[in-house]
């Protein structure tokens, strides 16, 4: 058990720590809510950063500080109200400028808890329209940022790299699980070229990298008491990437009628109502900067993300579950199958998606 009081004391927080309790269900970091005893003092979110995944915590926090400062400045310039609920505020450590503390074992950071806000695990067409607008706005606000952000996980959404990692896992077969998943591996390989389109377009100079969120899950947004989006959270993966990351990963999680790890594959279907609402919202704020190549390939992004996530879950399963937290032994395999099922459903809707995007983008 970590010495929470000792850790919190390292940060320039206000008030007296009352309680520290686990918060949320992220697969990567450990998150806690720190309640202060005084009613007029802020509460905080404390996180143990997974430094096996984010190996350069200094890069990670510099990216996050640069991005939140840029957004805060933009909100101030535009005269927005309630700014402290619209952008995260990281707490510096006492007597130093850094926003993280290393206790000899783990890296910790703290941010102000946003009062009266909540996250959602399920989406409706209304909230996904807002989400589309919010993630589009997030990208739009960062389009003119000069700071040179580094990739906090190099090649995070590089499909070619993810396939190489899967092939390495298969070659080593550390957990002796390859024999049991030959059918999925075969299907994945049969679509590998098609799914690496983004990297090819980028090499040909036809697809830019922009600052993206790269983990645009439904539960990475905060809503206010009226169900309005306040801000996007979980900024660890904010880095240069293709806009496909934010578009595709939202639909992967938000437009799945089942769960990411559903055992009942009949529940896993691509939800066109969510797709339409999210796409309308996204294009309303992102159309100002998106290129025709980016717009034309949004349906590809919707397919690539379930595919990429299947590749990642399957590689982890084959490696013996070293990356994602699991709740039972074949959890990563169940997740893989659910992502492949989602991909099949996306495939069936591709022509309809194309037509819809063309009508909205052309409008
Ligand atoms: C991880 O921790 P969480 O749940 O926000 C992962 C994402 C995956 C997701 C799958 C840094 O995100 O890329 O899409 O799990 N984040 C990292 O649920 O690998
Ligand atoms: Mg998260």
The string of pLDDT tens digits covering residues 303-346 is 999 999 999 999 999 999 999 999 999 999 999 999 999 999 99
Q: Which pLDDT belongs to residue 363?
A: 67
CA atoms of 255 and 302, how far apart (whole Å): 10
CA atoms of 148 and 166, how far apart (whole Å): 30
Write the DSSP string, 34-59: EEESSTTS--EEEEEE-TTTS--HHH
Q: Above 80 in pLDDT, residue 147? A: no
**pLDDT digit string, tens, across residues 158-170:** 999 999 999 999 9
CA 60 – ligand 1 centroid, Å? 15
Q: How far is CA 65 from the centre of its chain?
A: 17
Average pLDDT for 172-200: 98
Q: Which pLDDT belongs to residue 29?
A: 87
Q: Which two tokens stand for residue 176?
A: 């002796």
Of ligand 1's listed atoms, the one at least distance from the Cα of 252 is 14
Of ligand 1's listed atoms, the one at least distance from the Cα of 219 is 5
Query: Confidence class of residue 25 from pLDDT cuts 50, 70 and 90?
Result: confident
Q: Which pLDDT belongs to residue 229?
A: 87
Pocket of ligand 1 (CB under 6 A): 26-28, 53, 215, 234, 237, 260, 309
Q: Above 70 in pLDDT, residue 268? A: yes
CA 194 – ligand 2 centroid, Å? 28
Q: Are 14 and 42 in contact (CB under 8 A)?
A: yes
CA atoms of 284 and 282, how far apart (whole Å): 5
CA atoms of 298 and 245, how far apart (whole Å): 10
Average pLDDT for 267-276: 98
Q: What is the chain's mean pLDDT, rounded?
A: 94
CA atoms of 28 and 54, how far apart (whole Å): 10
Who wins on pLDDT, 23 or 196?
A: 196
77-85 contacts, C-beta under 8 A, 24 or more apart: 82/230, 84/112, 84/114, 85/114, 85/115, 85/116, 85/117, 85/222, 85/224, 85/230, 85/231
Q: Which pLDDT belongs to residue 83?
A: 95
CA 247 – ligand 1 centroid, Å? 15
Taking each helix axis as running N to C, give the angle between helix 331-362 and helix 182-190, from 0 to 180 degrees, rounded to the nearest 10.
20
Q: Whose CA is nearest to atom 13 of ligand 1?
A: 215
Q: Above 70 in pLDDT, residue 214? A: yes
Q: What is the DSSP letter of 258?
A: S
CA atoms of 66 and 71, how far apart (whole Å): 9
Q: Which pLDDT belongs to residue 303?
A: 98
Q: Which two tokens stand for residue 181?
A: 């998943």
Query: Confidence class of residue 240 from pLDDT cuts 50, 70 and 90?
Result: very high
Q: Which residues pair with 45 in a beta bridge?
A: 33, 111
Q: Which pLDDT belongs to residue 2?
A: 82
CA atoms of 220 and 88, how far apart (whole Å): 12
CA atoms of 256 and 264, how far apart (whole Å): 13
Q: Which pLDDT belongs to residue 104?
A: 93
CA 24 – ligand 2 centroid, Å? 8
Q: Are 284 and 132 in contact (CB under 8 A)?
A: yes
Query: Confidence class of residue 96 from pLDDT cuts 50, 70 and 90?
Result: confident
Question: Terminal CA-to-CA distance of the chain, rounded, Å?
Answer: 56
**pLDDT digit string, tens, across residues 104-123:** 999 999 999 999 999 887 78
| Sign of the Cα pseudo-torsion (209, 205, 350, 285, in order) | positive
Cα torsion for 191, 194, 199, 201, to the nearest 10°? 180
Q: Nearest bound ligand to CA 50? A: 1
Q: Whose CA is nearest to atom 18 of ligand 1?
A: 27
Name which of 108-117, 141-150, 298-307 the model is least confident about: 141-150
Q: What percent of the chain has pLDDT over 90?
A: 88
Which pTM was predicted? 0.88
């Amino acid at each position: 058990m970590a010495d929470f009081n000792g850790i919190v004391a390292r940060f320039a927080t206000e008030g007296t720590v009352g309680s520290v309790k686990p918060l949320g269900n992220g697969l990567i970091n450990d998150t806690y809510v720190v309640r202060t005893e005084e009613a007029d003092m802020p509460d905080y979110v404390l996180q143990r950063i997974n430094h096996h995944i984010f190996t350069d915590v200094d890069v990670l926090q510099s990216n996050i500080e640069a991005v939140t400062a840029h957004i805060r400045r933009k909100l101030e310039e535009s005269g927005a109200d309630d700014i402290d609920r619209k952008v995260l505020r990281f707490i510096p450590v006492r007597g130093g400028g850094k926003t993280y503390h290393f206790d000899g074992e783990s890296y910790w950071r703290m941010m102000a808890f946003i009062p009266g806000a909540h996250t959602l695990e399920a989406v409706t067409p209304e909230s996904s329209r807002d989400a589309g607008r919010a993630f589009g706005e997030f990208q739009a606000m960062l389009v003119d940022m000069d700071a040179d952000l580094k990739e906090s996980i190099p090649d995070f959404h590089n499909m070619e790299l993810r396939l190489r990692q899967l092939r390495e896992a298969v070659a080593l077969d550390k957990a002796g699980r390859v024999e049991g998943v030959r059918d999925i591996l075969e299907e994945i390989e049969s679509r590998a070229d098609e799914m690496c389109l983004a990297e090819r377009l980028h090499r040909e100079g036809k697809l830019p990298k922009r600052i993206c969120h790269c983990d645009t899950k439904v539960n990475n947004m905060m809503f206010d008491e009226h169900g309005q989006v306040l801000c996007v959270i979980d900024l660890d993966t904010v880095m240069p990437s293709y806009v496909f990351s934010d578009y595709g990963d939202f639909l992967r999680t938000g437009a799945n009628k089942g769960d990411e790890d559903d055992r009942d594959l009949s529940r896993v279907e691509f939800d066109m109502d969510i797709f339409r609402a999210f796409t309308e919202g996204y294009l309303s704020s992102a159309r100002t900067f998106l290129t025709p190549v980016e717009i034309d390939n949004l349906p590809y992004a919707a397919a690539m993300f379930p595919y990429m996530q299947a590749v990642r879950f399957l590689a982890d399963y084959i490696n013996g579950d070293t990356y994602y937290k699991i709740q039972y032994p074949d959890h990563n395999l169940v997740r893989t199958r659910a992502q492949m099922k989602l991909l099949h459903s996306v495939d069936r809707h591709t022509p309809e998606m194309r037509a819809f995007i063309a009508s909205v983008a052309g409008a």
